[in-house]
Amino acid sequence: MSTIDALQWRYATKKMNGEKVSQDKVDQIIAAARLAPTSSGLQPFKVIVVTNPELKAKIQEVAYGQTQITDSSHLLIFAAWDKYTEERIRSVFARTNAERGLPESATADYLQRLLGIFGAQTEEQNFQHAARQAYIAFGVAITEAALLKVDATPMEGFETDKLDALLGLRERGLRSVTLLPLGYRDEAGDWLVNLKKVRTPLEDFVIRID
């Protein structure tokens, strides 16, 4: 299936049937998210996987009762670094250089510039930057799920502070950004499945400036 066909097939599933997604497919979706590009290769986010029904029920309570959370097979939570610290950034550069067999000096100038840029911004600005990187991976994961014919519902509608508290994310230096329940559509119970997919007309979506 082409990406275009997969993206046409996918939709923000409103009702899932509880069927389990194979571990192999979940692994591929996570692998795709992990390979997504990020600013300076920092990957300033993590993917949290929840399958426990009781925990999903508690998450649903801070996500306006959306049933896909409990009817999903796996709930992915994209959570970004709450702040950029020198330690976090240095550790990414150290690992990258080590794996590439390069000395630390290979990236020393670049690293200093990067520390300067993030150091000049507020913690909140840096979190917003980290969150944007998580969104790239979110887009990649959504695409991969569709290619694997796994349904997924991209969600921003939840109480981030309450979810962070429920999962202890702040203690891990993370803040939740988006949710992605994975599962399979319940066609009979889903009001959206048969509605036409509507997008901005191509001629309005694209601007050619030359």
- Which residues sit at the interface with its own copies, rule CB under 8 A? 2-4, 7-8, 10, 12, 28, 30-32, 34-37, 39, 41, 43, 46-52, 55, 92, 95-96, 99-100, 102, 128, 131-132, 135-140, 142-144, 147, 154, 156, 167, 172, 195-200, 202, 204-210
Handedness of CA 118, 122, 123, 127 (dihedral sign): negative
Please say which residue, 17 or 135, places its beta carbon nearer to its own copies: 135
Please say which residue, 69 or 167, places its beta carbon nearer to its own copies: 167
Give CA–CA dist 142/156, Å, rounded.
14
Asked if 183 and 17 touch (Cβ cutoff 8 Å), the reply is yes
**Cα within 13 Å of Cα(184), Cβ side:** 10
Residue 135 beta carbon to its own copies: minimum distance, rounded to whole angstroms:
4
Amino acid symbol at 7: L
Residue 138 beta carbon to its own copies: minimum distance, rounded to whole angstroms:
6
Give CA–CA dist 158/50, Å, rounded.
16
The tokens describing 181, both together, are 């329940």
Helical ranges in 84-197 per DSSP H: 86-100, 108-119, 123-147, 160-167
Give CA–CA dist 75/50, Å, rounded.
5
Please say which residue, 7 or 115, places its beta carbon nearer to its own copies: 7
Amino acid symbol at 97: N
Please say which residue, 36 or 62, places its beta carbon nearer to its own copies: 36
Residue 173 beta carbon to its own copies: minimum distance, rounded to whole angstroms:
12
Residue 3 beta carbon to its own copies: minimum distance, rounded to whole angstroms:
5
Please say which residue, 21 or 167, places its beta carbon nearer to its own copies: 167
Residue 188 beta carbon to its own copies: minimum distance, rounded to whole angstroms:
19
